[in-house]
Structure 1
Amino acid sequence: MVTKDYYSLNEVSEILGKSKETLRRWDRDGKFKAVREPISQYRIYKKEQVNKLLKQLSIDYEDTIDNSVIPIREFSAVELFAGAGGLAVGMENAGIKCVALNEIDKWACQTLRENRPQWNVLEGDIKSFNFSEYQNQVDIVTGGFPCQAFSYAGKKLGLKDARGTLFFEFARAVQEINPLICIGENVKGLLSHDKGKTIKGMTSILDEIGYNVVPVEVLKAVNYKVPQKRERLFLVGVRKDINIKFKYPKPHNKIYNLIDALKKGELYDCDVPTSPGAKYPDHKKAVLDLVPQKGYWRNLPLDIQKEYMGKSFYLGGGKTGIARRIGWDEPSLTLTCSPAQKQTERCHPEETRPFTVREYARIQTFPDNWKFMGSVSQQYKQIGNAVPCNLGEEMGYAIINFLNTYYSQL
């Protein structure tokens, strides 16, 4: 039980002006350790510990991490499964030139061409393209390939066993281009997909085509100037003739919240522009009107909970995405391809509606002048599938750091 000698996590968050996510990360990293309340195991903090840190913070404690680095020459990339360009925009901001981008979705291709007419957009199924013209001409190959199970012909999966999967096409392109480094990105679930066999198979295939795989990491976008609790797995392969260690970008100290995405501040120099957006039907709006900021279905009266959730009410799990309203002072939950799915609700903090297209784009850290083509639903899909631009930029700096070291040793 919290006594007068201790503060709760909520209280410390208010006292220090830091988000609860930041405090949890500091606890995990050992920077500001909490103790555990004996029964509930909630984090609590000694008052003298909090007061000591408060004095340190008064010395203007700010984000001391800076991953930015200037490329010593022009570095180039081919991007596969490019989508609406989140990763490409981020890497461009870091200083990497995209020489070609492949994408099958026609609306995403229109988005890429609309915003970057100079980019070489290869529209269509990756299987129909040969990338040999870029052999030894490009430093980097990136790609957010979909996660698919393999058919295991033997104990060690080889490239031929992966035929028919999109990772095979990613690996084929890497083999044809022969870049210094390749970067694959995917959802966190890839780690456990098919009981871990899928990621092992991918590692085996990259090894076969001449790449050492760096230990896989799942990066939390919220640690890289993205106001969203999104996690992305990165699979990094370094060509075997290169004896340089790749280092992932260091996580930032500062966590940005929804207010930083939608209001004028450090991330954007104006409030979010108006734009079209989805709407709730009247019966759903009436329910969500009852949910406070940072609340969800448990904040509803019991009879409405049961009516609104139906069979889900009796199932296990927290179901914390149902009837969820995001708060101004927290990062958004991970955006999906549709802004009003019942299991993954993302309601505006003050107005009872889903986020608009431009609000979606801000939460993914796209620039305001990045136009999305197609219907509103197509635009939501493109944004929801994207790598946040700021996360892409931070990965871009890590790649540049690696390449700077390589070229400076030649």
Structure 2
Amino acid sequence: MKNRMMELWSKNQAKVWIFGDQGLVSGVNFTIGILLARFLGIETFGLFSLAWMVLFFSSSIQQAFLTAPLFALTPKQENPAQWMAQLYFIQILFSVLSFFIVVAIVESAIYFNPTWNFNGISITLGLLVAVYLFNDFSRRVLFTTHQPKKVVFIDVYGYALQPLIVIALYGLDLLSLQTALAAIFGAQLLSLGYIIIRIRPTFIFQDIKNTAATLWNYSRFLLATAMLQWSSANYIILFAASILGPAAIGAIKVAQNLMGVLNVLFQAMENIIPVRSAEAYHRGGIKALGIYMQKTTIQFLTPVALVLILVGIFHQQIMTTIYGDEYLQYSFVLLAFCGIYILVFLGTLLRFIIRTLEYNQIIFWSYVFTTSFSLLAGKVLATDYGLTGVLVGIAGTQIISFISFITFLKFKVKWNFRLFTLS
């Protein structure tokens, strides 16, 4: 029995470390969202959410320009160690550039929106973004070199300590927007220390011009897609912030944080469906793909529907129990996200089909449509209809993507949408 257990551990320990790390990061992000929403209040939490959007934007650019080529091109390199050392050098430059851009963005926000209490956070947020990006890139390198155990140690320092520091600051009556960001920066700084001491990354400047050109050639369209994807999801929220104030963003973000339970399921879908759908398609063509997607839809629809029904029924109790009575008036936002996530779920499945069929340009054009909608309608919806209009706008971006996908599949590949089966 003992030998059998050791054998299973030997075969699956990499998966255990990977899923354990994913659970750690997701769990801490969920917990931090709850703690800061309760401790800071809805307006300050809204400002924190806006600051966090800057970090996510920087991260999306990095993933397109550095992470995607790291995963895709490393196996093709004759000298992988030199390649990664060159990427590390470029990552340093990217982190430094991100610092200055973030500081400029925050200072501009303070100038154009003096009522937003962003004073004093530009340097802290800039440093946080720079260190976070470097740490995240280091994590990806370790995944590429099959060292998931070291990734867990990086994240134990960078994430596990965050809730403890935030609770301590609150207990000492020192918690504010700036100290909350400083707490997360401090934890990420410990991760950076671990990386420097234990991972000891190397940096090579030699032939860096050709490496940068390789990155650009591979990622230029990914960069455009990443910017459009971020814009389509966030322009309406930014309009809401400028018109309705930070409280509106706080309400949206606390609802999104609660729906993070489904994001874990969506991540599992991302890890499972693309590979198996590709296998089905190559094995039996579009008909086999349709049969597989029918089974998959039914399998995942049950837990998604159960979560959405429970959240929909108890949205008021959930909101006040987790965040406090201050958030009761915004419980309708959580209810609205139950409907929005139905569209997210269906759109995710359709996106898997399109990726399997290798028509990724359709996904790009869907982002063009949704970004255009956000730019054209976002301000009007927020101005004339308030937070309800913002929720309609968010739902609208999902509806546009959904219509784009089903129109393409229906007329290009003659897809039958009766639970993804073929005629």
Higher relative contact order (CA 8 A, sep 6+): 2
Q: Which has the higher strand share?
A: 1
Q: Which has the higher helix share?
A: 2
Question: What is the TM-score normalised by the length of structure 1?
Answer: 0.24
Question: What is the TM-score normalised by the length of structure 2?
Answer: 0.23
